[in-house]
Structure 1
Amino acid sequence: MATATKKKKKKNNNNFKFIKWFWALFFAGVLSIVLIFLVASWEWLGELPTFETLENPQTNLASQVISSDGELLGKFYLDDNRTDVAYEDLPENLVNALLASEDIRFYEHSGIDARGTLRAVVYLGKKGGASTISQQLSRQLFVGVRSKNTFEAIVQKIKEWVIATRLERQYTKEEIIKMYLNIYDFGNTADGIKSAARIYFGKAPIDLKIEESAMLVGMLQNSSYFNPLRRKEKVRQKRNMVLGQMGKYGYITEKERDSLQAMEIDLNYHPESHRDGIATYFRMYLQRFMNQWAKKNPKPALKGERDKWNIYLDGLRIYTTIDSRMQKNAEEAVAEHMKRLQAEFFHQNTPDRNKTAPFIEEVPGEIDRIMERAIKSSHRWHNLKNQGKSEKEIRASFKEPVEMTVFDWNSETKEKDTVMTPLDSIRYYKSFLKTAMMSMEPQTGHVKAWVGGINYNHFQYDNVIQGARQVGSTFKPFVYAAAIDQLRLSPCDLLPDNQYCIEANKHGNPDPWCPKNSDGKYSGEMLTLKNALANSVNTVTAQLIDKVGPRSVVSIARNLGITGDIPEVPSIALGTADLNVYEMVGAYGAFANQGVYVKPVMVTRIEDKNGTVLFEYVPETKDVLSKDVAYAMVDLMSGVTQGGSGTRLRTTGAEKYNPAYKEIITGYPYEFKNPIAGKTGTTQNQSDGWFMGMVPNLVTGVWVGGDDKAVHFSSIRYGQGASMALPIWGLYMKKNYANKELGVSDGEFEKPEELSINVDCDKVEEDTENVIDTEDDLDF
């Protein structure tokens, strides 16, 4: 019995010791956890984010470029193509997929899931990790990539716990979910859920289907490994695991789960880069504009923030005047016409037809100078020069064949892989005709479409605003405007089509100037100003500039926003000045806007990421011409499309087979019936083709030509503005009119109530009442 009593006492002592050790270990554990948190909060394990930083965590946000019709044209970013989306704009199925696969007890814990942590410790992570959504967010925001060093990894984990609990106190559960999905890098420049939904599926997050949401949530484990572009089957397996979890926790039915798991990954990949999408040339202009704006406008920075705006990091919203629908129409019109025009140019410049193709050498040594300039301005030249290569070595490298990807109109991707020497590639690229097009609403100055070239990836020079080329006869309306304004002439007034000379030393001209008509002939007839402009009769234009003087013409052009160099000599009447499409469209806008010049505008408003307005555009306007004169000019230019070089806009050409296109084409598929005012322009040797076209609420300018003036058609048939540039305008307007929502006018130009200038030329007869006195001139 004594032995039994001793055994009982020993057992009780053992139980007591066990209980004592249990509680000792328990309190030691609790104390250790508390101590760990205290040590971490005292920053003994490294710096932690401050209260202010937690309040305003700094993440790089891409700036958005938004069209006038609310579409995203593109973004400005360096490494992070991120745009925040509100929690309300996240679909329920996306949130459910996230909770089911990452943190099912998210709404029950305060940053640390005790059950999950214990499970991870006991099973060494084999049955899932213990990182909550809050911890994953803290790692993304403040901790960074997990270290491979065990001790450092443990310290990082402790920091995650501390920051996660702080985030839980600072933000609501919904805000944490929103922040996590907004900050995660889904790969392929898809930073954040908004970019991911757009890049992988071509839609907004709210429109994601269940299987699409499951795929994106599956990528959260490791977006580099689970990359749907490279490992589609792995991504499908991971997506199905997420769908399985959603079924397990009742977010979807068993039938839905099985059906969705059977589906293949269906991507609608929309890569986003500075060179992809629409309005690429415009966005590159806008990038320069925004960088200048950022320099001039200080940022009201908070503590620890940058004191200057950064368009790549600060998530600005830039509201532009570009209409995405009209921009697409413009780009399609350019591609459709330029592809065919280029085919004709290649057809005419085969080696047996032109041994110096793509050049036509008017001046001895011109081709050599062009090629030498191109060689020395190339990236290859500068790169090899920086590497210390000799000039002999560099020049030799230009003759060695290399593999390269070049532009090709006939490829679906507009690129083809080939092998050629760098010297041949320069000649190849010189053979492409370039273009520029801008379309503007004259009453507001809002630029609706902007196409700076044929392909931004391969031709990055923006011909809308960077390029300046001879404008040819599109300058003549400025001469006519000066004459009508100062001499009170009428479109119905008459002048003879005879050879006309301006004597030497008059108007600053050192030599006599006797311009010829384009065909070298003179009809000898009396022509109305309307007929003379419609047919670009040079002799009549010469008479007009002689009467008003070059200075008054230059003054009109300056008031219409032209800043390019225009010498005050009579020859400017025929368009010898080099001007750009941007300023020409702005100037023509005043004719359509009853004589009021409105400076072209591209940006209406800039907001910060919180919606605070930082900039709003104030229109810049100037009264240049009276309503009567402006309307008379519109009437004059209407003659261009009624009986002049723009008549093909009114007719349909016969169908014919063209060997260059290798297809049957319709000559002029436009047949416009509505009022159109415009002017074609063709420069010497057909180097430049222009068309300026106007309807009451839209003015559009188009230029087509080669990089160098030696690159041109050999004949006027294809080299004139009516063949090179006008078709782009016609195709563009056909597309615009097909979409009634755009509201492009097909009505009459507004006529002043009391028009003092006669524009009805139907009854004009050749009598002295309408003949302009050629001796009466104004020498300004």
Structure 2
Amino acid sequence: MASIRSLFCDLKRAATRIATGLSSRLAGTLDALRYPTRREVIGTLLAVPAVLLLYVLILIPFTPSISNIRKASSEQPAQVLSADGKKLAEFKQSNREWVALSEISPQVINALIATEDHRFYDHFGLDWRRTAAAALNSFSGDRQGGSTLTQQLARNLYPEAIGRAPTLTRKIKEAITALKIEAVHSKDEILETYLNTVPFLYNAYGIEMAARTYFDTSADQLDVLQSATLVGMLKGNSYYNPVLNPERALQRRNTVLKQMVKREKLTAKQFDSLSKKPLRIDFERQTEPPGPAPHFARQLRKWLIAWADRNGYSIHGDGLVVRTTIDSRLQAAANQVVTRQGNGLQNIANAAWGRRSAWSTDSSLVQVFIRESPEYGAAIAMGRTPEQSMQELQADKAFMLALKRQKTLIQIGFLAIDPRNGHVKAWVGSRDFEQEAFDHVQQARRQPGSTFKPFVYGEAFRQGASPDDRLIDQAVEIHVGDTEVWRPTDGAPPSGEAITLSDGLAYSKNTITAQLIEQVGPAKVAKLARHMGVRQSKLEAVPSLALGTSPVTLKEMVAAYGTIANGGGYLEPLLVTRIEDRDGQVIEEFSPEDADIALEPDVAYTLLDSMRGVINRGTGRDIRTRYGIRADVAGKTGTTQDNADGWFILMHRQLVAGAWVGFNDSRVTLRSDYWGQGAHSALPIVGGFFANALRARLIDPGVRFAAPEDSGLWARIRDWFRSLLSPEPVAEPKPQRSVKPARKQEPREEPATPAPAVLPPQPQGDPLQEKIDQIMTESNEAEPLQTDPSPAEKVETLR
């Protein structure tokens, strides 16, 4: 116990001695600070710039390098080109058009230098006198900016690297970058870069876009008042916005004019006259032209950004040249047919929903639309009762008209690909990109209706069924739960007759397809559809899947049909073939990977041959009779419950194209059993597109789908007859390996001249002669495109 007490006493004495020593040293330091020697004062004064210099040296590596400054000032956005060399898009960082200094009005330059940096041509990036004056004024409470034009340019070019915070670190990094800019650029180059990169609100960057936005003129035509107004905005774009704050902008403009007088760029007499004139703003927002394939360009941009990030490139500044798979001629044809059919169908929609009985405040559907609107939610949030909100909005004519236009606007999606290599040849995501940027090719998921039926028949053929196998056209009841029974029907009562699978597909018989999926199994149909191309959308393995109740995208469906046209091999749609640098050197090339075999070639050909019947005698016969297409094609129509969705997809050996037609809200329909069918809404788009492509020889009308080669006497005889009666076969390029960098509704099919109530047995003629006749008939050139009847002419059918 005594030893512990002794230990504590020793520790206490030691602590006391340490505390006494520290106190004496601290007192000595304080005395030295109160009465420093001359050597200590000189050392302290020298230490401050030394520490500052050291800090500057430490910050240099954290400022943009000279090479990056050169790249930023000579920014070159990626150019997107079609397969035939036409410009599709340009990926700019901002809405800017670069103009040379010689193409900018001298009044702009005079106003800018007089106001922002009158010693611009005398300093080397930093104006020490202006910086010192700004610092003194800031210390006295009058905060002023002392940045030169070069320092401002550094901030504009590198906002992330330099920052915007009012700190010493930011000012030093800004000064270092300004010195670097002055080292590699002439004064004129700095001025040109500054005037082409400075922001002017409303997504207008650079003096050219500012001139167009605020004065509807070009940069070289700006007069002294217009120049002073734009330069005046640089002090604070929002505060001196001439559109929203005209009085402030006018005062600021006159301040700029005074500075021009002070720097002898104007006379006092000129100032007295000019300062009394109004602003005269001619404002119009500037938008970038969407280009011929805007939805395609948007999807490509996402892909290209990821590629550039992986490979160390910038899509805004490296001048990349991206060569795509799009054919500008096919894209133009697609745009044309979508516009024509969309306008015609819109007339039908306007007539249908223009009736008082269709769009009425008493309509339960219209009331649902009102309750779902943001305006209704805002009214409730302001304390109004549901009844009051409903009454106020129903009485608001402008709101009701806008709601009607929004809900009853026809939309269209269209996609065309080359099934041999997966190249996307045409992409139209909506009727008007500027009005509707939502992409109905890749983003929209809708019920495909009867266009899904080929997957059912494909699985049946894969399991050994034959197109000549027959099923009875009879009422179908399929139990899908303990109490639920699915009863698919067609437009006409069941005939009770035996119908071949080939005719069941050609005439799109729901009763036949429902029996078939029950035999082969919904899960296997869903699996086949995924293998063929429906790879992102969820497919519910239930019997009604046969009629297309699971929503899918148009891109998935066209890709899956491309698998059929490619002999059963799936190829992922390809957007880009090559990327080059600004000097034309190839950075990377892209080509399709080996096909993923989803169907054996003989099964794929059997399915395709059955789908020829859709075009030759079934629901898609307008391809032959109306559009005069004689080429070897196959396809399928599709219509969903209440005509909410219209589909049509057509296959040629060199091109597969599909269209979807409907409204963004599936509860809105065309209210017409004629125009709501896919055979009359979507088929004309694809038919017109193919007719144009065949007539322009963008695809070969003589190319046929080749059956899988077989051996034996019959095959040799058939080939001999073909060699006599057919032209030389067209060689098909083989895909090459890719080179890469590191509650449900039951859809209803259109009746469109269905099979007769009793289908007579098919005549058994000479198969060889039938084949020869078919070759001779279908190898003829496609007839010219026939004029479509205007949908507006059939408005009377709605009344």
Report the Cα offset of residue 724 of structure 1. Answer: 0.7
Tell me the residue number matched to 1:641: 615
Would the aligned equivalents of 2:602 and 2:708 in 1 still touch at CA under 8 Å? no
Tell me the residue number matched to 1:432: 409
CA distances 1:33-76 after superposition (whole Å, capped 9, x unpaired): xxxxxx9xx99xx9999598574238597964724345142546
Tell me the residue number matched to 1:351: 355
Report the Cα offset of residue 591 of structure 1. Answer: 0.8
Pick from 317, 328, 334 the counterpart of residue 330 of structure 1.
334
Higher helix share: 2
Give me the whole-angstrom Cα distance separating, in 2, the residues matched to 1:73 and 1:695. Answer: 29
Report the Cα offset of residue 488 of structure 1. Answer: 5.2
Matched, 1:751 2:706: yes
Tell me the residue number matched to 1:677: 634
Give me the whole-angstrom Cα distance separating, in 2, the residues matched to 1:335 and 1:375. Answer: 30
Report the Cα offset of residue 175 of structure 1. Answer: 6.6
Change in 2 beyond 3 A, CA 1:188/1:549: closer
Change in 2 beyond 3 A, CA 1:647/1:450: same
Report the Cα offset of residue 375 of structure 1. Answer: 3.7
Match for 2:184: what amino acid? Answer: Q
Report the Cα offset of residue 558 of structure 1. Answer: 1.5
Pick from 699, 702, 708 the counterpart of residue 656 of structure 2.
699
Give me the whole-angstrom Cα distance separating, in 1, the residues matched to 2:614 and 2:514. Answer: 19
Match for 1:495: what amino acid? Answer: R
Report the Cα offset of residue 765 of structure 1. Answer: 5.1
Change in 2 beyond 3 A, CA 1:735/1:389: farther
Report the Cα offset of residue 313 of structure 1. Answer: 9.2
Give me the whole-angstrom Cα distance separating, in 2, the residues matched to 1:372 and 1:47. Answer: 69
Tell me the residue number matched to 1:722: 679
Give me the whole-angstrom Cα distance separating, in 2, the residues matched to 1:351 and 1:630. Answer: 48
Structure 2: state its 5+ residue gaps: 1-48, 113-118, 124-147, 158-172, 234-240, 244-281, 719-760, 768-799
| Structure-to-structure mapping, 1:30-109, within 5 angstroms | 53=63, 55=65, 56-57=68-69, 64=78, 66-69=80-83, 70-75=86-91, 77=93, 80-82=94-96
Tell me the residue number matched to 1:560: 532
Change in 2 beyond 3 A, CA 1:312/1:651: same
Tell me the residue number matched to 1:484: 461
Match for 1:81: what amino acid? Answer: N
Change in 2 beyond 3 A, CA 1:725/1:136: same
Tell me the residue number matched to 1:773: none
Change in 2 beyond 3 A, CA 1:765/1:691: closer
Give me the whole-angstrom Cα distance separating, in 2, the residues matched to 1:387 and 1:224. Answer: 43
Match for 2:409: what amino acid? Answer: F
| Structure-to-structure mapping, 1:35-184, within 5 angstroms | 53=63, 55=65, 56-57=68-69, 64=78, 66-69=80-83, 70-75=86-91, 77=93, 80-82=94-96, 112=121, 139-142=152-155, 167=181, 169-171=183-185, 179=193, 183=197
State the percentage of identical aligned residues: 30
CA distances 1:573-632 after superposition (whole Å, capped 9, x unpaired): 232332221211111110111111112244567789999969978748411112222222
| Structure-to-structure mapping, 1:359-398, within 5 angstroms | 368=364, 370-371=365-366, 374-381=369-376, 394-395=389-390, 397-398=392-393
Report the Cα offset of residue 424 of structure 1. Answer: 4.3
Would the aligned equivalents of 2:91 and 2:315 in 1 still touch at CA under 8 Å? no
Give me the whole-angstrom Cα distance separating, in 2, the residues matched to 1:570 and 1:72. Answer: 44
Tell me the residue number matched to 2:345: 341
Would the aligned equivalents of 2:474 and 2:495 in 1 still touch at CA under 8 Å? no
SS at match of 2:350: helix
Tell me the residue number matched to 2:21: none
Report the Cα offset of residue 646 of structure 1. Answer: 1.9
Give me the whole-angstrom Cα distance separating, in 2, the residues matched to 1:136 and 1:745. Answer: 61
Give me the whole-angstrom Cα distance separating, in 2, the residues matched to 1:733 and 1:726. Answer: 11
Give me the whole-angstrom Cα distance separating, in 2, the residues matched to 1:441 and 1:549. Answer: 31
| Structure-to-structure mapping, 1:157-556, within 5 angstroms | 167=181, 169-171=183-185, 179=193, 183=197, 189=203, 191=205, 214-215=220-221, 271-273=286-288, 276-285=290-299, 293=306, 320-351=324-355, 355-357=357-359, 368=364, 370-371=365-366, 374-381=369-376, 394-395=389-390, 397-401=392-396, 420-487=397-464, 489=466, 491=467, 493-495=468-470, 498-500=472-474, 515-522=488-495, 524=497, 526-527=499-500, 529-556=501-528
Tell me the residue number matched to 1:666: none
Would the aligned equivalents of 2:89 and 2:291 in 1 still touch at CA under 8 Å? yes
Change in 2 beyond 3 A, CA 1:709/1:172: closer
Give me the whole-angstrom Cα distance separating, in 2, the residues matched to 1:169 and 1:380. Answer: 57
Report the Cα offset of residue 336 of structure 1. Answer: 0.8
Tell me the residue number matched to 2:550: 577
CA distances 1:277-333 after superposition (whole Å, capped 9, x unpaired): 443444555566677x49x95796xxxxxxxx9978998876654444433332322
Give me the whole-angstrom Cα distance separating, in 2, the residues matched to 1:49 and 1:633. Answer: 69
| Structure-to-structure mapping, 1:607-618, within 5 angstroms | none
Structure 1: state its 5+ residue gaps: 1-38, 104-109, 115-134, 145-158, 201-210, 230-266, 301-308, 360-364, 402-419, 653-669, 771-780
Would the aligned equivalents of 1:49 and 1:142 in 2 still touch at CA under 8 Å? no
Could you tell me the TM-score, scaled by structure 1's length? 0.59
Change in 2 beyond 3 A, CA 1:389/1:701: same
Would the aligned equivalents of 2:416 and 2:425 in 1 still touch at CA under 8 Å? yes
Tell me the residue number matched to 2:740: none
CA distances 1:256-292 after superposition (whole Å, capped 9, x unpaired): xxxxxxxxxxx9x99434x84443444555566677x
Give me the whole-angstrom Cα distance separating, in 2, the residues matched to 1:605 and 1:220. Answer: 44
SS at match of 2:630: coil
SS at match of 1:679: strand
Pick from 620, 626, 629 the counterpart of residue 600 of structure 2.
626
Would the aligned equivalents of 2:100 and 2:192 in 1 still touch at CA under 8 Å? no
Match for 2:197: what amino acid? Answer: I
Report the Cα offset of residue 688 of structure 1. Answer: 1.7
Would the aligned equivalents of 1:500 and 1:542 in 2 still touch at CA under 8 Å? no
- Of residues 610-619 and 706-715 in structure 1, the stretch that sits farther from structure 2 once superposed is 610-619
Report the Cα offset of residue 697 of structure 1. Answer: 2.2
Match for 2:338: what amino acid? Answer: V
Match for 1:112: what amino acid? Answer: Y
Report the Cα offset of residue 649 of structure 1. Answer: 2.1
| RMSD of Structure 2 on Structure 1 (CA) | 5.8
Match for 2:441: what amino acid? Answer: V
Would the aligned equivalents of 2:578 and 2:586 in 1 still touch at CA under 8 Å? no
- Of residues 179-188 and 464-473 in structure 1, the stretch that sits farther from structure 2 once superposed is 179-188
Give me the whole-angstrom Cα distance separating, in 2, the residues matched to 1:389 and 1:288. Answer: 43
Report the Cα offset of residue 450 of structure 1. Answer: 2.6
Would the aligned equivalents of 1:637 and 1:679 in 2 still touch at CA under 8 Å? yes
Change in 2 beyond 3 A, CA 1:524/1:530: same
- Of residues 323-332 and 427-436 in structure 1, the stretch that sits farther from structure 2 once superposed is 323-332
Would the aligned equivalents of 1:358 and 1:431 in 2 still touch at CA under 8 Å? no
Would the aligned equivalents of 1:479 and 1:553 in 2 still touch at CA under 8 Å? yes
Change in 2 beyond 3 A, CA 1:549/1:163: closer
Would the aligned equivalents of 2:121 and 2:187 in 1 still touch at CA under 8 Å? no
Could you tell me the TM-score, scaled by structure 2's length? 0.58
Match for 1:725: what amino acid? Answer: A
